Each structure stands twice: as structure tokens, then as C-alpha cells.
Amino acid sequence: MSSSEDVLKSLVSHSKEYGFVFPSSEIYDGLSATYDYGPYGVDLKNNIKAYWWKAMVQIHSNLVGLDSAIFMHPTTWKASGHVDAFNDPLIDNKDSKKRYRADVLIEEHIEKLRLKIEKEIEKAAQRFGESFDRDMYLKTNPRVLGYAEEMKQVRTRMKSALEEGNLEALRNLIVDLGVVCPLSGSKNWTEVRQFNLMFATELGSVSGEASTIYLRPETAQGSYVNFLNVQKSARMKIPFGIAQIGKAFRNEIIARQFIFRMREFEQMEMQFFVRPGTEMEWFEYWKAFRIKWHAILGLGDSNYRFHDHIKLAHYANAATDIEFNFPMGFKELEGIHSRTDFDLKAHESFSGRKLQYFDPELQESYIPYVVETAIGLDRMFLAVLSASYKEEQLEDGSLRTVLAIPRCLAPVKLGILPLVKKDGLPELAMSIFNALRLDFTCQYDEKDAIGKRYRRQDAIGTPYCITIDHQSLDDGMVTLRDRDSMNQERIAINDLKLLLHERLDMSSLLQQLI
Ligand code: ATP
């Protein structure tokens, strides 16, 4: 088994054991690609949402929130293009009977070529030592140039096949590249077919096409159809944005890799309405802002990279993904798209209602252009979890599993632990617990030896433990133990609240975004 599979497996079992994520309806053997968030998972999720909402809506005076319904008038999805074009090109392996997304198989082949280049660079760097010139090597080494050329050719062929909707060309590319099924190892592929990803259901008791409605596959359309409601009611002037957090549903065919690809998931999306012609400036602004939002969490700068889209969606004139280094490699975490006036224009023409903005400076009306930032909450959760999960060998030879979750996102902020269950220590610990739980999510724990209790808090990512010992009764001081360094410091009980606010509050992160 590859080590990346090992890491993912460890995350899945840790998430279950410690109440972060459970397989949905597990007593019935689960439902594929659907998960439930447990007691700590729901708090981590809420904290990620709060970080996003504060960074977007609270600190931008030109962003406002919306919570639109999951069900929308069916014409919405005609106008948006989802009924006709929200398809994945699928291919089956005849031997394993496994189904794959054709474009993903090709992207994976490209990634393999990129890794080959990396390997060549690594080898050369070792060989040449300090005199190694990476840029020169990339430009001149024949093997590296060969791989780079192959990557370019594969990209070009894939782009034109996808743009033309040429499914046969897509299949030919897979065959020509000699792509094998990871499961059966065979190259015995079916044709490529299109598959619509929207879940359909029926409204009320009438059946038939007229009553077919869809579970929304994205939150964005709710923001578009409410564009004028929001603009007028909140007295917004362009440029301004609408932010939403909510569930989305996609009948994903290939739903593996834990909470990375689910059929029911949550999105945090923001639609920013701008004057036509200024969209590229705003696209750059949001690209920079969003990568900073990620970077200051401290999950590691090298875990992120931008990936510009090979094929632009029908609505976009620029698009990039922020990819994260998940246990299965670099994959899309967030998309930033310049969507032009495609959506508002389409809704105007399908609804017959004007969706225009009168610009007082220009003294004219126009359909605004839109720049969107769209991040999957569950993928962000997985990014946080996978970058935080650590197994460490301690000096005494024992092993500790720790979740080094960014402090302000941690589900439980403080473990409050009396050293022993007697001599008045529990009472003092309880009074500290009661004083702090109004401000922080706290957990009181008096069961088992102190070392074991520290391990339990480490495993759920609690940034600090407060230990109350006999001396605390005399001097009014407690031990504050840091999760990551395991350092311990003595702090006066009276100083705890202020100090903990400084170290745990989200505001120190938000400050860096202003
Ligand atoms: P992918 O190419 O991985 O299918 P996408 O490009 O279709 O994703 P978008 O339509 O841009 O995704 O959706 C915005 C965000 O929603 C994505 O960046 C991702 O984080 C999240 N997302 C999309 N599909 C899923 C899913 N099935 N499960 C979990 N998160 C998802």
C-alpha cells in the first residue's frame, strides 16, 4: 500500500475514533460518499465557516451575506447551463467494472510526468551539489525537456477534445497514453459517455417533467437571482459581493477519497459584481486575498499552488484553482472564476426581468460582470485535518498522535484538568472551567492519569491544557501546557482569560488580512 493511502486511512480512522467524521448511516453499512460530522467535527467545521465569514463579510464593507434556498425554480438550471452542460465525461474499465472521469485519468497522467521531472531535478541536485542551477537544468536537460513537451502535448489534446465535446478524441487520448486502470491494471476501456451530475426530484405530488426540480449543485445561482434584491435592500454600490455558505449536491460518479468528493457537501461561495472591463483587476485581487487567507493559517506555504484551468467553463474568461497538497497529492481546494456577465444575462433572458445596475458615476445601466471565489468547506476541513495530523515519537519512546490544528479553529480550546480527583483540586478546576467556558469551548476531565488526559486532548487538537495542582491552592497559579511544544508555564489564574484571548482569538489572523 502506498504511503499516501496509509495517511488517508489513518485520517479516516482517527476521524471516526475521535468524533470528527463518521460514515453516514453506518449501522446500515453506510451510504457511499456521504458522511456525518461528529461532536468535534461540527465545531471544527463551524470554526472554519466563521473564519471564512469574518474574513469575507465582516471585514469587507462591500460584501454582504445571503442564505438562499436549496430548491430553486427549475428554469434557474436551464439558464445557468446546468441542465444541458453540467456533465462529466465518464469511462469504464471493462475488467474492473470501475468507472472513472476521463479528464481526471488524463490529469493524473500529466501529474505523473510532472513527478518524473521533479525526480530528475532531485537526482541532479544531489549529483551537482551546490553548483546546481535548477532553471538552467529545466531549460537544457533533454529528458526533462522531453517530459515537459509530452505534458504540453497531452494538455493541448485534452483541451481541444473537451472544448469540442469530442468524446472519441478523449478516449483515443487515454488509449494512446496507455493509461491503465489502477485496480485491474488493464487498458480495456469502454467508450466515453456524458453523465449529468444534478439530483432531480419532484415537487409536490404531481409527477412528470413539469414538476421536476433539482437539488442545487452550487450556491452561486441563489446569489445571481437575488442580485437586485440584495443590491437594493442593502443599498450596495458596484463593486460589491454576495457571500453564501450552504449545502450543494452532485451525483458524483467517482466518489472516493473520504470527504474530498461527496454527493452532499457544503460550499462557501462569494459572487463579486463589478463594472465590465474591470473584472481582471478584481480577479487578481481575489486571487491574492484568498491565497493569503489560506497562508496565514500556517498549514505550510508549500502545500498550496495555483493551477490555471486548461479548459475554461462555458461561463468563464479566466479561472484558476487553489490546489492543496492532500494525502492523495495536489488537488483542487478552491476555485476562483471570472464568470463575465454570463449568468445574469442568461437569467435576464430566461426570466424576462431586468438584472441591471444603474451606475451613478457613469450615468448608465449595465449587467455587471462577476468574479467568484468558491471553496468546499469539507475539502477545507480535510486540508486542515491532513496538515495537522502528526504521529510523534516522544523522548520516553512512546508515541503521541496530535492534531496541530490552527489554534483559532480547534474544536476544543482548553482542557481543564485537576491533577488528582481529591484535596479540593476538582473544585478549583471547576471554578476555572466555569469562568472560562463563557469565552472558550472548554472540556473538564478528571479521569485517568494526567499523561493520558494530555494525550486525549492532543488527539482532538486542543491547543492548551490547564492543570490545577496542590500548589495552585496556595499560590493561585496553574500550569498552561502548549499542545505543539508540550512546554509548560505557570500562569496566575487571574491572568488566564486575557492571555488566552490573545493566543486563541481569530482576530490576530483577521488583522493580517486588513
Ligand atoms: P472538481 O473538479 O473537483 O469536481 P469543481 O471544479 O467541479 O470540482 P466547483 O464547481 O468549482 O468544483 O465547486 C467549488 C468548490 O466546491 C470546489 O473547489 C471544491 O472545494 C468543492 N466541491 C466541488 N465538488 C465537491 C464534492 N463533490 N465534494 C466536496 N467538495 C466539492
Residue whose CA is closest, atom 19 of ligand 1?
Answer: 376
Supply the residue whose CA is at minimum distance from atom 2 of ligand 1. Answer: 332
CB atoms closer than 10 angstroms to residue 352: 7
Q: How far, in Å, from the CA of 262 to the mean position of ligand 1? A: 9
Q: Which residue lies with its CA nearest to atom 24 of ligand 1?
A: 261
User: Which atom of ligand 1 is closest in space to residue 267's alpha carbon?
Assistant: 16
Nearest ligand 1 atom to alpha carbon 380: 20
Closest-lying ligand 1 atom to the alpha carbon of residue 250: 27
Grid coordinates belonging to 214 = 433539482
The pLDDT value given to residue 84: 85
Q: Which residue owns the Cα nearest ligand 1 atom 12?
A: 335
Ligand 1 surroundings by CB, under 6 angstroms: 218, 250, 252, 261-262, 265, 267, 332-335, 374-376, 378-379
Distance between CA 406 and CA 294 in Å, rounded?
11
What pLDDT score was predicted for residue 325? Answer: 96
How many Å lie between the centroid of ligand 1 and the Cα of residue 376? 6
Distance CA 482, CA 463 (A): 6
Residue 263 alpha carbon, nearest atom of ligand 1: 27
Long-range contacts (CB closer than 8 Å, 24 or more residues apart) made by 99-108: 99/253, 99/254, 100/181, 100/254, 101/253, 101/254, 102/167, 102/170, 102/171, 102/174, 102/192, 103/158, 103/162, 103/170, 104/254, 105/174, 105/179, 106/154, 106/158, 106/170, 106/173, 106/174, 106/177, 106/179
Q: Grid coordinates standing for 375?
A: 471553496
- Distance between Cα 391 and ligand 1 center (Å): 30
Nearest alpha carbon, ligand 1 atom 11? 335
pLDDT score for 368? 98
How many CB atoms are closer than 10 A to CB 213?
Answer: 18
Of the candidates 8, 12, 15, the one whose C-alpha atom is nearest the C-alpha of residue 44 is 15
Low-confidence ranges of the chain (pLDDT < 50): 1-2
Nearest CA to ligand 1 atom 22: 376
Give, for ligand 1, the residue of 293, 315, 379 to mutate: max count of ligand atoms closer than 8 Å to Cβ: 379
**Burial of 485: CB neighbours in 10 Å, binned 0-12, 13-18, 19+:** exposed
Closest Cα to residue 252, out of 207, 215, 303?
Answer: 215
Q: Whose CA is nearest to atom 16 of ligand 1?
A: 376
- Pick the residue whose CA is nearest to atom 20 on ligand 1: 376
Q: Which domains does the chain have, with CATH numbers?
A: 3-76+218-385 (3.30.930.10), 400-511 (3.40.50.800)
pTM of the model: 0.86
Question: φ, ψ for residue 466 (rounded to 5)?
Answer: -110, 115
Atom of ligand 1 nearest to the CA of 334: 18
- Out of 216, 291, 332, 371, give the residue to mutate to test ligand 1, the one with the largest number of ligand atoms within 8 Å of its CB: 332
Express each pLDDT in 147-192 by its tens digit: 999 999 999 999 999 888 899 999 999 999 999 998 999 999 999 9
- Looking at ligand 1, which atom is closest to the CA of residue 337? 11
Cα of 377 to ligand 1 centre, how many Å? 10
Model pLDDT, residue 207: 61
State which ligand 1 atom lies nearest to the alpha carbon of 331.
3
From ligand 1's centre to the CA of 326, what distance in Å? 14
* Ligand 1 site-directed mutation target among 21, 103, 265, 343, most atoms within 8 Å of CB: 265
Of the candidates 223, 213, 274, the residue with the CA atom closest to the CA atom of residue 245: 223
For ligand 1, the distance from its centroid to the CA atom of residue 59, given in whole angstroms, is 26
